[in-house]
A and B are shown apart, each in its own frame.
Chain A
Amino acid sequence: MLKSNTFSRKTKAGRIKKEVREIYLRDDIYCGAAACKTCDTSTSRAPLDVASPLLILDTNVLLHQIDLLENSAIDNAVLLSVVLDEVKNKNMAVYNRIRALSTNPLRKFYVFSNQFHKDTFVKRMDGETPNDYNDRAIRVATRWYQTHLGTAATILLITNDRDNKRRAGEEGISADTIQSYVKSLGQPELLDLLVLPASESEDTVMVEVEDLRPSKRQVVYQEHKPMSEITSGLHRGIYHQGKLRVNRYSPFQAYVGSESIGDEIIIYGRENMNRAFDGDIVAVELLPQDQWHEEKNLSIADEEDEEEDDVHLAPSSADDAPRTTNLVSDSATDMNSTPSRPSGRVVGIIKRNWHSYCGSLEPMSMPAGTGSFTSALFVSKDRRIPKIRIQTRQLENLLDKRIIVAVDSWDRQSRYPSGHYVRVIGEIGDRDTESEVVLIENDINSRPFSSQVLACLPPLPWSVSSEDVANSIRQDLRSLRVFSVDPPGCKDIDDALHLTALPNGNYEVGVHIADVTNFVHPGTPLDGEASQRGTSVYLVERRIDMLPKPLTEDICSLRADVERLAFSVIWEMTPDAEIISTRFTKSVIKSCGALSYVEAQARMDDSRLMDPLTTDLRNMNALAKIMRQRRIDRGALTLASAEVKFQIDTETHDPLDIDLPVVGYRDDPYFNKLIRILATRCMTQAVYFCSGDLSPPEYHHYGLAAPLYTHFTSPIRRYADVIVHRLLAASLGIDKLPPVFQDRSQLTSIADNLNYRHRNAQMASRASVELHTLIYFRKRPTDTEARIVKIRSNGFIVFVPKYGIEGPVYLTGRGEKGSGEWHVDEQQQKIVKMDNSNNNSLSYSVLQSVRIHMEVVEPQPNRPKLQLTLIT
């Protein structure tokens, strides 16, 4: 083991500081080739195959061609650690995908730690740029592989860096660009996955392509400011940094939440958004105040595309709601001429949020010659994403498909960003395809569980063993009358209840929760997967589990008449629902019945039934009512969201009926619900957080009026509950505290992931319901009752209580937007028809009931939507 004391580096942190890092060079880093005789291959993975060419990949290839590398046609590659480090610095997402490749046993990717190998270590020379240094290190490593493996193997350096390729040639290393390598493989479909180099690197292919569209060779967007200028601008306060969020319902409007201003900056129009995508971190320059309002009209006139709201499910919280209310107030306060919110213009993009998008190609006629590259425009399913130009050789295959496309670049001359095709999902309009799209769009992992994860499961069939019963931490509660109440058809039953009358007149109430942590141990692959997934996702026709099926539906599920392990809370309560004592314990239970809500209600309502189970139900209900009332008295809110139920045809899986279950009110069944929905929407969602990150006053859950709130009743489908179970077990001294609880940054990242997953799961459920709503109404145009929930300048938004749908109704045609015929009365929340002839003018006000016609139309190809029209 050698050691070299090199590496002196100057870092600038106000002053110059010299740092010395030692590097230990080793002779026990192996080349990774299975056939290599000099290297000891017994201890480590050696996937490389000497018989086929060995690829050494340069950084630019990894960074740009990751979609191609994930295709199994590219294999047998060496990843140098110097390359991986650079990739990690530049793009973490790509790095993670590469790492996944290198650990995948099916792929032949090997990581070679060239920086620590005694023969491939390269010392940085004076005045050498990091890029040159890396290139040199790559060439040295390539040469080492050549001499190490000798004539037995062909080593090929794959680089798109011209300079690197030239120097490799000079040093006698065979090098090739990824383009020509892929061409040499003779698989034309791979070429679609290739990312074409950006125009800065003057490659011949690109020039050709650009020449085809000479009319487009004009500057559409303003140049992005260089990074140095942005930083100094941010310092001086003329630019503002923030995350760009594109309006979900109107893609030509975006918001940048800026801390320096303390308000959101509105950005109108693609031109001002200046090639920024949703989620990008951008630098924004404020427009002069006199342009703040003007700009809006201008941008709408500018764009050829439509700007209108979609029909969608009624959102359940403020975060989901379209942010259009301010626009209305803008037009209302027109005369005051001081619009309240600043608008701005993107001058630079600090961090891109590009990933791959789902959608379809814009229909176009087939060009004469097939098999050659054709340009096509990709339309994303997500309306916030602009159209993306891609090059493809298989246009005829892709036209009627949902595909995934990744963005590569967006230069000033083109109206749309350019990208490349990644893969096909399936036929457009097919329900499975569209469901898949919903999952992909919401970043939900629906892949089957890996073998490592499944290996963590207990052997099946599983039953409670005698050791479990004998375990001193477990209380035997099998004698109790435990039962569960869940939605019909529920297979993942994670809680059950019991109630026993005590001799002193009090009740013993118990809640028994599936003991998931008995099977999911911290640090196992199973635990890792569950924490990644965060939550189970419920779509209309399927469920994507957080834990593998045997756990979800069998081992953990507290089904009727089988013994199960549980974590129990047992209270002693007075008949007035005052808690006298609380006790937590692990237990063994045997449920005597899994009831559905309807069943339970029916039992309670049937006064003839006097069996013990029904009595328990009634007593529990009485206690629950008292507790709920107490909570409301304390100031908790009763919230509501429009949740709909589908009846699905068992054979075609098409929705047969939609129903919004509503608790009846005599005169106006939907009014109360509607008010609650509207109230709920004003609130931000509760989130998970790591208690070390916030101060105790911020813990308060105001929806429930509780100073502290967490839940632990659904560990099968929520990872947050698994965490709480572990904490609880540790605080009771049953289990050790897993080390992750002492790592604040890790806990914070878990909490962030849970929030993200939870939100995505909700969005996916909504999207799935919307999808099925569309399928339902495609065959059944319907007339129905609706209520106005919001007034806009050219119409109003209605809520259709029967189906839980919300959407716009236009009073004026598309072209005549904002014409003077209708007038909005801000004070009265009314829209009035200005009719000079008579006085009893037509008007609509908020909460008024109207009749509407619902129908599925397809104004834009492949984007069917539900249209609501007023029946007068």
Chain B
Amino acid sequence: MDYVSPEGLRLDGRRPMEMRQLRAEIGTVAKANGSAVFEMGNTKVIAAVYGPREVQNRSQQINDQALVIMANFSTGDRMRKPKGDRRSTEISLVIRQTMEACILTHLMPRSQIGLCFNSIFTKKKHYTIFKELIDLCALSCLLASSFPISVYSRKRNISILNVSAGTRSACINAATLALADAGIPMRDIVTSCSAGYLNSTPLLDLNYIEDSAGGPDVTVGILPKLDKVTLLQMDAKLPVDIFENVMGLAIEGCKAIANYIREVLLENTKQLEYRRGL
């Protein structure tokens, strides 16, 4: 199958080096200490942060740093998956480790920071429902368990659309924003982006169809200011020189996202200033 036409256009009209459209919103979950929505094309992720606060489960408490816990990641798939299914467990682990690496946990000993994500994919007209879901999501975060979207969608008779690609990148980007919103000290913002290799062309930010092609998919997370890589994952195999190209492309994507996230944070801060009347 041709994923890049001879005219140099991908199936969704992008060129190989172009990213999907980004959109971010800060402070969407009222009950959380910090929250954000991050969209990459059709992939929408809500992240909510609770804490730092007292560790709920005393036995997990660490004396010299904060404990980062995370509710199991729930994807928007309509199908109900058995608890602890491998994909969501893996994604949860990856995200938690990435975020833990950038949070200055030693500043907050004996406390816990709770992260919670939900990723759902709806058309724009379901946006009100989306808001509703966010509140429910907040509840589930409090309970530190994943929110059963399937039950909800059946009750409300809405169709939750199939998963789009790049969920883990979107989650990390959303978490960065949410952590910043919660005012949790970080080394740097973490941004993440993926790149793939199809039809002998490196492609930035794969969409769902490209992701389902089963080709190599490199997900990179970086600390842009420190210029350090905190996350690097790849499915499938790639020769080293091509891998370097693809990874380079993903890093470029991360930097572009970092710029965007900075802009959003700056805008948010200005608004906060304005509201306080400073």
- Across the interface, do A81 and B239 meet the contact criterion of CB distance under 8 Å? no
Question: Complex: how many Å from CA A17 to CA B208?
Answer: 15
Question: Complex: how many Å from CA A866 to CA B179?
Answer: 88
- Which residue in chain A gives the minimum CB-CB distance to B162? A19
Contact partner of A99 (CB less than 8 A), chosen from B6, B159, B200, is: B6
| A805–chain B nearest beta-carbon distance, Å | 48
Query: B105 near A: Cβ within 8 Å?
Result: no
Query: A20 near B: Cβ within 8 Å?
Result: yes
Query: A220 near B: Cβ within 8 Å?
Result: no
Query: A742 near B: Cβ within 8 Å?
Result: yes
Query: B13 near A: Cβ within 8 Å?
Result: yes
- Across the interface, do A736 and B239 meet the contact criterion of CB distance under 8 Å? yes
Question: Complex: how many Å from CA A357 to CA B74?
Answer: 59
- Chain B residues whose C-beta falls within 8 Å of the C-beta of A26 in the assembled complex: 9, 13
Contact partner of B162 (CB less than 8 A), chosen from A1, A17, A111, A116, is: A17
- Chain B residues whose C-beta falls within 8 Å of the C-beta of A29 in the assembled complex: 7
- Across the interface, do B9 and A116 meet the contact criterion of CB distance under 8 Å? yes
In the complex with contacts A81-B7, A736-B241, A739-B200, A18-B12 CB distance below 8 A:
no
- Across the interface, do B7 and A113 meet the contact criterion of CB distance under 8 Å? yes
Query: A471 near B: Cβ within 8 Å?
Result: no
Query: A115 near B: Cβ within 8 Å?
Result: yes
- Chain B residues whose C-beta falls within 8 Å of the C-beta of A183 in the assembled complex: none
Instruction: List which A1-54 residues lie within 8 A (CB) of chain B.
Output: 1, 3, 5, 8, 17-26, 29
Interface centre among B13, B123, B124, B159 (most CB of A within 10 A): B13
Query: A737 near B: Cβ within 8 Å?
Result: yes
- Chain A residues whose C-beta falls within 8 Å of the C-beta of B7 in the assembled complex: 29, 81, 111, 113
Question: Complex: how many Å from CA A484 to CA B159?
Answer: 73
Q: State the majority secondary structure of interface residues on B.
A: loop
Contact partner of B12 (CB less than 8 A), chosen from A8, A17, A24, is: A24
- Across the interface, do B13 and A116 meet the contact criterion of CB distance under 8 Å? yes
In the complex with contacts A17-B162, A81-B5, A22-B239 CB distance below 8 A:
no
In the complex with contacts A5-B124, A99-B6, A24-B13 CB distance below 8 A:
yes
Question: Complex: how many Å from CA A739 to CA B215?
Answer: 13
- Across the interface, do A115 and B13 meet the contact criterion of CB distance under 8 Å? yes
Question: Complex: how many Å from CA A3 to CA B200?
Answer: 26
Query: A103 near B: Cβ within 8 Å?
Result: yes
- Across the interface, do B41 and A22 meet the contact criterion of CB distance under 8 Å? yes
- Which residue in chain A gives the minimum CB-CB distance to B207? A22
- Across the interface, do B21 and A739 meet the contact criterion of CB distance under 8 Å? no
Question: Complex: how many Å from CA A26 to CA B5?
Answer: 15
Query: B31 near A: Cβ within 8 Å?
Result: no
- Across the interface, do A19 and B13 meet the contact criterion of CB distance under 8 Å? no
Question: Complex: how many Å from CA A111 to CA B8?
Answer: 11
Question: Complex: how many Å from CA A115 to CA B7?
Answer: 12
| B138–chain A nearest beta-carbon distance, Å | 26
- Which residue in chain A gives the minimum CB-CB distance to B123? A20
- Across the interface, do B242 and A739 meet the contact criterion of CB distance under 8 Å? yes
- Chain B residues whose C-beta falls within 8 Å of the C-beta of A737 in the assembled complex: 239
- Chain B residues whose C-beta falls within 8 Å of the C-beta of A116 in the assembled complex: 9, 13
Instruction: List which B1-34 residues lie within 8 A (CB) of chain A.
Output: 5-7, 9, 11-14, 18, 20-21
Convert B238-277 into 0s and 1s, putting 1 for each residue whose CB lies closer than 8 angstroms to a CB of A.
1101100000000000000000000000000000000000
| B6–chain A nearest beta-carbon distance, Å | 7
Question: Complex: how many Å from CA A18 to CA B159?
Answer: 8
- Chain A residues whose C-beta falls within 8 Å of the C-beta of B11 in the assembled complex: 21
Instruction: List which B155-208 residues lie within 8 A (CB) of chain A.
Output: 159, 161-162, 164, 200, 207-208
Q: Tell me the total A-B contact number using a CB cutoff of 8 A.
A: 65
Instruction: List which A721-761 residues lie within 8 A (CB) of chain B.
Output: 736-737, 739, 742
Question: Complex: how many Å from CA A29 to CA B15?
Answer: 11
Convert A376-395 into 0s and 1s, putting 1 for each residue whose CB lies closer than 8 angstroms to a CB of B.
00000000000000000000
Instruction: List which B125-173 residues lie within 8 A (CB) of chain A.
Output: 159, 161-162, 164
Query: B42 near A: Cβ within 8 Å?
Result: yes
Convert A102-135 into 0s and 1s, putting 1 for each residue whose CB lies closer than 8 angstroms to a CB of B.
1100000001010110000000000000000000
- Across the interface, do A23 and B13 meet the contact criterion of CB distance under 8 Å? yes
| A99–chain B nearest beta-carbon distance, Å | 7
- Across the interface, do B162 and A25 meet the contact criterion of CB distance under 8 Å? no
Question: Complex: how many Å from CA A736 to CA B9?
Answer: 30
Query: B101 near A: Cβ within 8 Å?
Result: no
- Across the interface, do B241 and A18 meet the contact criterion of CB distance under 8 Å? no
- Across the interface, do B161 and A22 meet the contact criterion of CB distance under 8 Å? no
- Across the interface, do A742 and B21 meet the contact criterion of CB distance under 8 Å? no
- Across the interface, do B159 and A23 meet the contact criterion of CB distance under 8 Å? no
In the complex with contacts A23-B12, A25-B13, A5-B239 CB distance below 8 A:
no
- Across the interface, do A739 and B42 meet the contact criterion of CB distance under 8 Å? no
Contact partner of B42 (CB less than 8 A), chosen from A17, A22, A113, A736, is: A22
- Chain A residues whose C-beta falls within 8 Å of the C-beta of B164 in the assembled complex: 20
Question: Complex: how many Å from CA A1 to CA B11?
Answer: 16
- Across the interface, do A5 and B162 meet the contact criterion of CB distance under 8 Å? no
- Chain B residues whose C-beta falls within 8 Å of the C-beta of A1 in the assembled complex: 18
- Chain B residues whose C-beta falls within 8 Å of the C-beta of A523 in the assembled complex: 200
Question: Complex: how many Å from CA A113 to CA B9?
Answer: 8
- Which residue in chain B gives the minimum CB-CB distance to A19? B162
In the complex with contacts A25-B13, A26-B13, A113-B5 CB distance below 8 A:
yes
| A24–chain B nearest beta-carbon distance, Å | 4
Question: Complex: how many Å from CA A851 to CA B232?
Answer: 80
| A552–chain B nearest beta-carbon distance, Å | 28
Query: B73 near A: Cβ within 8 Å?
Result: no
- Chain A residues whose C-beta falls within 8 Å of the C-beta of B13 in the assembled complex: 23-26, 113, 115-116
Question: Complex: how many Å from CA A103 to CA B242?
Answer: 27
Contact partner of B239 (CB less than 8 A), chosen from A8, A115, A742, is: A742
Question: Complex: how many Å from CA A113 to CA B21?
Answer: 20
| 4 further contact pairs, Cβ within 8 A, besides A18-B162, A21-B207, A25-B13 | A19-B162, A81-B7, A111-B6, A111-B7
| Listed A/B pairs (20) with beta-carbon separation below 8 Å | A18-B159, A18-B161, A19-B161, A21-B208, A21-B209, A23-B13, A24-B14, A24-B18, A81-B5, A81-B7, A99-B6, A111-B7, A113-B9, A115-B13, A116-B13, A523-B200, A736-B239, A736-B241, A739-B238, A742-B237
